[in-house]
Structure 1
Amino acid sequence: MIGPSEATGTRFVRVLLSGGKPGVVLEGETIRAWGADGKLSAEGAGRVTLTAVGERIRWNGSRLLGRTLDAAGAPELRVGDRKAGGRVRLVARKGELLAVAVVPLEPYVAAVISREAPPRFHPEALAAMAVAARTYAVGATAKPRDTAYDVVGSVEDQVFEGMDGVASVFREAAERTRGVVLRYRGELVRTVYHSTCGGRTESAEYAWGRDVPYLRALRCDDCADSPVYRWEYRMSAAEGRRVSGALGVPPGKDLRFAVASRTPTGRTNRVRISSGGVSRELKAAVFRKTAGYAKIRSLKMEIVPVGGEWRFAGEGYGHGVGMCQFGANGMARRGAGFRDILARYYPGTETAGEAP
């Protein structure tokens, strides 16, 4: 596990950029790679293709190297379309190649919040988001997802699209709150967050079946100016058939989707799919993932059949648990500081000045 550097005291986060594929492309004016023994293994320029061959890595279609490589580029290294923000560790595993960016914590925090909020957000809201992103990352380094990486650079954990386009307001939010994390009774908080709650956040108990004292449902009157406070999606007959088939119900002409149950906050808990005498109930979160997060933006929704299609009408964007980002911005505009915002969305928690 990569923690603070003994030489500099800098904390790093290992972010999975690419996995489940046989290869990856690195780009840089100059590219160097070191083996597990710390010795220079290969050099290249411009564009280098790496592929996994069992438990070893092939360099540019020719040289067969070891199981792990640490790569760096000058002046920078890109993995696909993402600027890595540091060195990249490559790991061959059963014919698949993992590409893991090893990024200093504070630049990582700035990059994460740059993908979570527009630069027009109030500085106090951005500061609250920086503390939440940092706390999540520090917790992940203590309990990593995998031996090779701490977090996934997507909505599975925190979106990390590289260091391109990180505006100064995001770097300032990270720098201003440098080292600050959120704790509950001395333990790091699971600082989950979402774009827009639609007027009421969700409890972790109802969303994920875990009763977390600082992740309870609460009223939020500050996110009404979000562009996704209300939304609508029209699912075509063809798309409905795709979703139904993917979820194990062969679609027929009588295909139906319906809300089977709701949580106390009004979010859909289970969805019923029926067709041709076959009926299946499943978790609404699974249904939403299959249909697409950007289409069905939240589970605070209604399903209305319209001819052979379906209209999904809802409020908010995201799972609804923890901090509502547009709500945080609304609070900040009313004069709340970042600590006030964090105390509101994670009740009973306290900020601590130093990351462990």
Structure 2
Amino acid sequence: MQKRLLALLLVFSFIFSCAPAQALSYADGSLRVYLLSLGDIQSLDFTLEGSYTINGNPDFRLDSGTRITVSQSQEAQELYLLSGGLSICMGASFSLTRAGTTDAAMSGAYLSKSEKDTLYPGDFQITAGKKGIEIILTIDMEDYLYGVVPYEMANSFPLEALKAQAVAARNYAYRSKLASQDESYDLVDTTKDQVFKGYDPENTNAIRAVDETRGVLGCYNGEVVMCWYAASNGGQTARPEDIWGGEGNYGYLDLRDDPYDVENPFSVVKTLDIATDGSQLDKRLTKIFLPQLAEQLAAMGYSDNESEMQIVKILRAEGIEPKYENTRMYTKVRFYLTVAGRMLDNSRLPASSPAATEAPADLFASFFNTPSSPVPANTPAPTAQLKEGLTVVPVELTADITVYDDLKDGFDMQIISSDYELVSTVNNTDSIRIEMRRYGHGVGMSQRGAEWMAGKYNAGYKDILAFYYPGMELVSVQWKEKEPAKLAPLPIAAQPVLPVLEPGESYAYVQLSSASSTLNVRKEPHTDADIVGTLSNRSRIIVTSCENGWAKIRTGELDGYVSMNFIVYDE
């Protein structure tokens, strides 16, 4: 089977490599992401990594390292900004806009109520909503993907699978941007669109995947297309028109079997094992089957009294009546049964069941055993003990169970709330197994399938995209990303005047590695002591004594201990 899958993979790789590469240029690579995951909040802390201005005003600036709190009034839809004991009413909305530069690799803000301790790089539009503070993050496309790829997949996934995810997520985001020009935001940060949880530099694999596919988009007929994806398609991709209805330019997608998804042991599957011996049949199934059998038995001259019938053996089962043509979204599972009943009129007794026709084999027969095995020409004699007065009906009878009602609800076979699951059956001598698969809508790329293609078969991201989006070609985009506004340096505040030296004291100053750093002043000469204040770089101090690497210092406003590694005596 692995040789067949590799051959199939090579075919799609060749087809995809024939697509010409193009270079396109788009005016704007920014996205507006509504941070829905924060929930209904009345206050939120921002810790800034880089300088920001308020409402774009360079005279109203917040420096890197500043911590602010935004809260919403309980009485009115007004916002307040609090920082360092200062409280300012900001009205119904205001913005925080990145400005200047920072020594950090990326500027942004850490949000106190976000799920992860990650950076949110971008500008913030903050609004007082009916249920609480609403925040829309404006972020560059590639920075956005840093916070999507490791959470839509996982940073531990194979690199080529992560690259395929990066391209699919980029397409999804760009198509969402095009569709929301008249809206206040393009996407939300939850599974309603794509999960976004901010930038974490430890997600090195995902970051590399984004960087190595930077600006790559998928097109069909010259148009950037929507690249849907889901966790697991259950072994068969879905058509978007089947899942969501309507019509569209979907020539880059098709309905196809996906053996990679089925092979992956992490793909979700739910199973129900049913003994073929009728005496061991689950009472829930018996309750469903008997009314259907009663009608068939009555038509053949048998009693339709449920107490005068017996399910002797289940011969086989198969999925029937697919929800959509050529899919395995079967709405029913049909069971073929050996049944015993009490004869009332033998004039209507039918002939014995004819031998079944051999079912044709196909490429995926080892994965999906639907249709079921053929009926044997000579049905073996039932082993169950018959009730007194009953005889075995000489033909097979059938009984159906509904998939999306009986199986999902009555037998705990639900995988998702929507009715998208696929059904297959495995017919064995002593038992019949019903399997349900598919976690998600099944359209486009299976993330579990992509994981298996890359990890098991060494497929590249282009091979993966070719398999799941067979009509799509890749193009390269150069985003025109927004540069933060430049800020004039702040005037240097005058140093406070130090007291006159006492005998044995010396003047010194603080020397740190960067201008933005600060030195902790502690209550006692050790690192576990309480911090009583901080000193900025170049701050002047008086050293009163030194011991074991610590200097006792004082200023006009502060007394305590600092490490001698960060002070320099005046010459």
Q: TM-score of the superposition, structure 1-length normalised? A: 0.69
Which amino acid letter does the alignment assign opposite residue 205 of structure 2? V
State the Cα distance separating 1:182 from its structure 2 match: 0.4
State the Cα distance separating 1:232 from its structure 2 match: 6.9
Q: Is residue 198 from structure 1 mapped to residue 234 from structure 2 by the alignment?
A: yes
| 1:70 counterpart residue number | 95
Say if 1:313 and 1:166 are closer, same or farther in 2 by CA, change over 3 A: farther
| 1:219 counterpart residue number | 257
State the Cα distance separating 1:295 from its structure 2 match: 6.1
Rounded Cα–Cα distance in structure 2 between residues aligned with 1:218 and 1:108:
31
State the Cα distance separating 1:336 from its structure 2 match: 2.5
Alignment match of 1:131 (pick from 167, 176, 197): 167
State the Cα distance separating 1:75 from its structure 2 match: 7.3
* 1:63 aligned counterpart, secondary structure: strand
Rounded Cα–Cα distance in structure 2 between residues aligned with 1:140 and 1:201:
22
Point out the structure with max Rg over C-alpha.
2
CA deviations 1:298-336 (Å, max 9, x no partner) are 73167xxxxxxxxx9731311111111111122223233
- Whether the 8 Å CA contact 2:267–2:448 is kept in 1: the answer is no
Worse-matched range after superposition: 23-32 or 157-166: 23-32
State the Cα distance separating 1:136 from its structure 2 match: 1.4
After the TM superposition, which residues 320-339 of structure 1 pair with which residues of structure 2 at under 5 Å, given as runs? 320-332=442-454, 333-339=456-462
- Whether the 8 Å CA contact 2:322–2:328 is kept in 1: the answer is no
| 1:117 counterpart residue number | 153
Worse-matched range after superposition: 165-174 or 53-62: 53-62
Gaps of 5+ in 2: 1-25, 99-106, 273-320, 333-403, 424-433, 480-571
| 1:229 counterpart residue number | 268
Which amino acid letter does the alignment assign opposite residue 110 of structure 2? L
Q: Is residue 300 from structure 1 mapped to residue 361 from structure 2 by the alignment?
A: no
- Whether the 8 Å CA contact 1:56–1:68 is kept in 2: the answer is yes
| 2:183 counterpart residue number | 147
State the Cα distance separating 1:345 from its structure 2 match: 0.9
Q: Is residue 17 from structure 1 mapped to residue 50 from structure 2 by the alignment?
A: no
Rounded Cα–Cα distance in structure 2 between residues aligned with 1:230 and 1:149:
36
Which amino acid letter does the alignment assign opposite residue 447 of structure 2? Q
Rounded Cα–Cα distance in structure 1 between residues aligned with 2:126 and 2:79:
8
Rounded Cα–Cα distance in structure 1 between residues aligned with 2:181 and 2:80:
26
Say if 1:201 and 1:294 are closer, same or farther in 2 by CA, change over 3 A: same
* 2:227 aligned counterpart, secondary structure: coil
Q: Is residue 267 from structure 1 mapped to residue 329 from structure 2 by the alignment?
A: yes
Say if 1:36 and 1:87 are closer, same or farther in 2 by CA, change over 3 A: closer
Q: Is residue 58 from structure 1 mapped to residue 97 from structure 2 by the alignment?
A: no
State the Cα distance separating 1:92 from its structure 2 match: 3.4
Say if 1:24 and 1:68 are closer, same or farther in 2 by CA, change over 3 A: same
* 2:267 aligned counterpart, secondary structure: coil
State the Cα distance separating 1:214 from its structure 2 match: 2.6
| 1:163 counterpart residue number | 199
Q: Is residue 317 from structure 1 mapped to residue 439 from structure 2 by the alignment?
A: yes
Alignment match of 1:354 (pick from 455, 477, 483): 477
Rounded Cα–Cα distance in structure 2 between residues aligned with 1:323 and 1:51:
42
After the TM superposition, which residues 177-192 of structure 1 pair with which residues of structure 2 at under 5 Å, given as runs? 177-192=213-228
Worse-matched range after superposition: 11-20 or 26-35: 26-35
State the Cα distance separating 1:206 from its structure 2 match: 1.1
| 2:46 counterpart residue number | 27
| 2:70 counterpart residue number | 49
Say if 1:94 and 1:218 are closer, same or farther in 2 by CA, change over 3 A: same
Rounded Cα–Cα distance in structure 2 between residues aligned with 1:22 and 1:66:
17
* 1:354 aligned counterpart, secondary structure: strand
Worse-matched range after superposition: 11-20 or 321-330: 11-20
Say if 1:330 and 1:20 are closer, same or farther in 2 by CA, change over 3 A: closer
CA deviations 1:147-183 (Å, max 9, x no partner) are 3211111111110012236511111111101111000
Worse-matched range after superposition: 21-30 or 158-167: 21-30
- Whether the 8 Å CA contact 1:110–1:166 is kept in 2: the answer is no
Rounded Cα–Cα distance in structure 2 between residues aligned with 1:298 and 1:172:
36
| 1:80 counterpart residue number | 113
Gaps of 5+ in 1: 1-5, 234-259, 271-282, 303-311
State the Cα distance separating 1:268 from its structure 2 match: 7.3
Worse-matched range after superposition: 192-201 or 90-99: 90-99
Rounded Cα–Cα distance in structure 1 between residues aligned with 2:58 and 2:171:
31
Rounded Cα–Cα distance in structure 2 between residues aligned with 1:49 and 1:10:
29
Worse-matched range after superposition: 177-186 or 9-18: 9-18
Say if 1:95 and 1:298 are closer, same or farther in 2 by CA, change over 3 A: closer
* 1:218 aligned counterpart, secondary structure: coil
Which amino acid letter does the alignment assign opposite residue 242 of structure 2? Y
State the Cα distance separating 1:86 from its structure 2 match: 2.6
State the Cα distance separating 1:48 from its structure 2 match: 0.8
* 2:477 aligned counterpart, secondary structure: coil
* 2:121 aligned counterpart, secondary structure: coil
Say if 1:29 and 1:13 are closer, same or farther in 2 by CA, change over 3 A: closer
- Whether the 8 Å CA contact 1:121–1:329 is kept in 2: the answer is yes
Which amino acid letter does the alignment assign opposite residue 268 of structure 2? Y
| RMSD across aligned positions (CA) | 4.0
* 1:90 aligned counterpart, secondary structure: strand
Rounded Cα–Cα distance in structure 2 between residues aligned with 1:301 and 1:54:
51
- Whether the 8 Å CA contact 1:36–1:68 is kept in 2: the answer is no
Rounded Cα–Cα distance in structure 2 between residues aligned with 1:348 and 1:94:
45
CA deviations 1:6-45 (Å, max 9, x no partner) are 9xx8722221113773634123168965126665288995
Q: TM-score of the superposition, structure 2-length normalised? A: 0.45
State the Cα distance separating 1:69 from its structure 2 match: 2.0
Worse-matched range after superposition: 47-56 or 82-91: 47-56
Rounded Cα–Cα distance in structure 2 between residues aligned with 1:268 and 1:39:
65
Worse-matched range after superposition: 206-215 or 293-302: 293-302
